[in-house]
Amino acid sequence: MDRSKLYRRFRTLLIANRGEIACRVIRTARAMGLRTVAVYSEADRDTMHVALADEAMLLGPARARDSYLNVERLIEAARKTGAEAVHPGYGFLSENAEFARACFDAGLVFVGPTAGMMTAMGSKSGSKALMEKAGVPLVPGYHGEAQDEATLSKAAEGIGFPILVKASAGGGGRGMRIVRSAAELEPAIVSAKREAKAAFGDDRMLIEKYVDNPRHIEVQVIGDSHGNLLSLFERECTLQRRHQKVIEEAPSPTLNAAQRETVCAAARKAAGAVNYVGAGTIEFVSDGKDVFFIEMNTRLQVEHPVTELITGIDLVEWQLRVAFGEALPLRQDEIRLNGHAVEARVYAENPTKNFMPSVGKISTWRLPAETGGLRVDAGYREGDAVSPYYDAMLAKMIAWAPTRDVAIERLNRGLEETDVRGIVTNIPFLSALMTHPKVRANAIDTGFIERELAVLTQAAPAPGELELCAAVAAVINEEQQAAHAKANSPWQTFGWQPVGRRQRSFAFRVGHGPEQKVMLNYGSGPSTLVIGERELAFTVAAKDGGFDLTLDGVKSSVAAVIDGHELYLRTRNGRFDLHWVDPFGGETEEQTGEDKIAAPLPGTVVAVLAEEGAKLDRGAPILTLEVMKMEQTLRAPFAGVLKSIKCKVGDIVQEGVELAVVEPSGE
């Protein structure tokens, strides 16, 4: 193959992706003087990546298969905008050999490995066979071509349970299931195949021995077209949920210097087996003693910023320079490891409701300044809409420091100073994870989050004295701001009164809980707040995003957001959502029973798992929805009889639509 067609200088780059990664690539490309082209679906017309690019082109309808996965439309977009190269980002078509080949055939530079390298290493089955031949240690497993149920069942029994069933073309935990007994195998394969087909267009499976209490370690590699292949140290990605990485750090706190060199050498050997060109990641699993190869990701990874922060290398810049046909600017012995970096993935999801994705418009988006070792890679802004069609990741927060402990502290401080409203996020969960003593002590494995889920998703504490006083202050601030917009309003100065000293009563509650009352005394003399028998002197000083509240001489910083009668507060004690009870009454609130089996979000019915008339135990599966590229199984809320199913496989259902009716058994 003519290398001048594969790697050459270009001026215009099309980013075949969306969200955070598209924004990330655009920033580096523009810093290098390149012209950038974004692509978007109908759901993404007004998104951040479209605004950042020099040009943008509509691909098609919202569904990924009709837009971001449409190879012909992507090639057409490059042709119409004059793009000479394509960066695939991660996810979508980033590891699709046919897309890489289509780019080459269209005369475009593909910023990544060749289709041949991708085929050899992108397939989990194919790469395992290649690694076995190259002498790289493997987890025992089956990675053959035969995909019939009998073959897979026989392979599983031969390996011995527990096993891991995983999509050969997969990534991000999709199409992956842990199977601990023969009885669980068939439904796990069916579900994993269906999810893999939907996510990757390929339902081939491999089976490998599941390593109990495993740790996930991966090595960043990059090669150029001149025969240079480097490793850029390793990352630890052990903190996972449902095989989806949550926290990543570099370097691994588990490895010593000798182990680090061993695993990095194994990674270079693995990538060297196909003379790899471009950025990629060699992934390993460790049982605490040995390290086994599990797969290669032939693309940039979500967690690449932690490697950038400990090496000082911009991996996207290096990707583009390799695509230009340049040699890598450093030798292996010139790459230095400096300090420690930790990354957290911020998602639009509700950890207290089984991490159900959250959709809607972002009404408030406040992130800390990127100073003091803190970095934020975001794909959303205030006013943007989070749709149900794509991955729910909003941003990545990354912290660097000379030591791991300080990096964790910086990351947690950044999370604590982040306020996102309009949708539900996993920020409190991430903060709980970062402050967990076992995480600080590195006493973890890939099952840690599932075991500690109850602790990590504990309900927010009840609002105390500080929060109730802050709620009153928030309401007062809101009223003062509204008054300032009206000329000659007596409320422009807090405490205005026609005569004497006055009182004002406030009532707040959390959810449908009991009302908590606060009395405000104001007028002549200092203003005070009364809670029960306690009377506290207070002052309020407004500032951007909130105010400073001084109670009995102690000043506290409070972040506040008010939407009608809904209040969000962030104090030193955590985050709080309160409802300001309408002082004039007349509130009506719809009570939705927990037994309602309805679509939690817009999605597609992919499986009906029970028949009408069936007797169900509490928790029995009824049907499965595909929501934001992940499967969500809806279950019986109590023991009873399945009276009716109100949908069928293939139906696209909207949020809140009732899908099934269960009658309680009366037991």
Q: In the predicted model, is pLDDT for residue 144 greater than 90?
A: no
Q: What is the pLDDT of residues 501-535, one digit of tens each?
A: 688 999 999 988 899 999 999 887 788 999 999 99
Q: Look at residue 455 and give its three-state secondary structure.
A: helix
Name, in order, each residue with C-beta under 8 angstroms of 494's C-beta and a sequence gap of 6 or more.
476, 480, 522, 527, 540
pLDDT of residue 493: 47
> What distance in Å separates the CA atoms of residue 94 and residue 69, rounded to the nearest whole number?
10
pLDDT digits 0-9 by tens, 148-174: 888 999 999 999 999 999 888 766 678
Structural domains in the chain (count): 5
What secondary structure does DSSP assign to 261-302, as a single string?
HHHHHHHHHHHHTTT--EEEEEEEEE-SS-EEEEEEE-S--T
91 plus 171 within the same structural domain: no
Q: Which two tokens stand for residue 456?
A: 């990590």
Asked whether residue 335 falls in the same domain as residue 420, the answer is yes
In this prediction, residues 417-429 reach a mean pLDDT of: 96
Secondary structure class of 543 (helix, strand, coil) = strand
Instruction: Decide the pairing of beta strands 12-15 and 35-41.
Output: parallel
Looking at the structure, do residues 334 and 432 belong to the same domain, yes or no?
yes
Structure letter (DSSP) for residue 334: G
Q: What is the pLDDT of residues 243-264, one digit of tens each?
A: 899 999 999 999 999 999 999 9
Same domain, 273 and 331: yes
**Same domain, yes or no: 426 and 367:** yes
Lowest mean pLDDT: which of 339-348, 612-621, 624-633, 655-664? 624-633
Q: Which residues lie closer than 8 Å to 124 by C-beta, 6 or more apart?
A: 143, 166, 167, 168, 169, 170, 206, 294, 295
Q: Determine contact, residues 18/335, Cβ cutoff 8 Å.
A: no
Give pLDDT, residue 2.
63
Asked, for residue 380, whether it belongs to a domain, the answer is yes
Q: How far is CA 362 from CA 18, 366, 391, 645, 654, in A?
A: 17, 10, 16, 34, 20
What's the mean pLDDT in 4-23? Answer: 94
CATH code of the domain in which 403 resides: 3.30.470.20
Distance between CA atoms of residues 519 and 592, nearest Å: 32
Cα 499 off chain centre by: 56
Tens digits of per-residue pLDDT, 290-299? 788 888 999 9
Question: Which residue among 434, 456, 478 closes a domain?
Answer: 456
User: Looking at the domain assignment, is residue 130 inside a domain?
Assistant: no
Angle at Cα 262 formed by Cα 257 and Cα 264, nearest 5°?
A: 95
Q: What is the pLDDT of residues 585-620, one digit of tens each?
A: 555 443 334 556 888 777 889 999 999 999 999 889
* Residue-level pLDDT at 168: 83
Q: Are residues 302 and 384 in the same domain?
A: yes
Let me know whether 558 and 644 are in one domain: no
The mean pLDDT of the chain is 90
Does 491 map to a domain?
yes
Query: The CATH number of the domain where 47 resides is what?
Result: 3.40.50.20
- For 15-63, the pLDDT digits (tens) are 999 999 999 999 999 999 999 999 999 999 999 999 999 999 999 999 9
Helix (H) or strand (E) holding 117: helix 115-122
Query: Which residues constitute the domain of residue 26?
Result: 3-111
In a domain, 587, yes or no: no
Q: Is residue 590 part of a domain?
A: no
| Beta strands at 393-401 and 340-347: parallel, antiparallel or unpaired | antiparallel
What percent of the chain has pLDDT above 70? 93
User: Token pair of 346, please?
Assistant: 């911020």
Note whether 384 and 441 are same-domain residues: yes
Show which of 186, 209, 232 is a domain's final residue: 209
Residues 413 and 496 in one domain: no
DSSP per residue, 394-407: EEEEEEEESSHHHH
pLDDT of amino acid 295? 87
Least confident segment among 1-10, 302-311, 316-325, 590-599: 590-599
Distant-in-sequence contacts of 564-570, Cβ < 8 A, 24+ apart: 567/471, 567/474, 567/475, 567/508, 568/364, 568/419, 568/421, 569/463, 569/467, 569/470, 569/471, 569/474, 570/416, 570/419, 570/546
Angle at 407 between CA 453 and CA 368, to 5 degrees: 85
Q: Do residues 86 and 225 both lie within one domain?
A: no
433 and 486 in a single domain? The answer is no
Q: What is the separation of C-alpha 632 from the centre of its chain, rounded to a whole number of angstroms?
A: 16
pLDDT number for residue 491: 45
Q: Are residues 478 and 522 in the same domain?
A: yes
| Domain membership flag for residue 222 | yes
- Looking up residue 175, the CATH number of its domain turns out to be 3.30.1490.20
Which residues are known to be catalytic? Answer: 299
* pLDDT reported for residue 349: 94
- Asked if residue 125 belongs to a domain, the reply is no
Distance CA 537, CA 552 (A): 5
Q: How confident is the model at residue 496 (pLDDT cuts 50, 70, 90)?
A: very low
Q: Give the model's confidence band at 129: pLDDT under 50 very low, under 70 low, under 90 confident, else very high.
A: confident
Residue 353 has pLDDT above 80, yes or no: yes
In a domain, 80, yes or no: yes
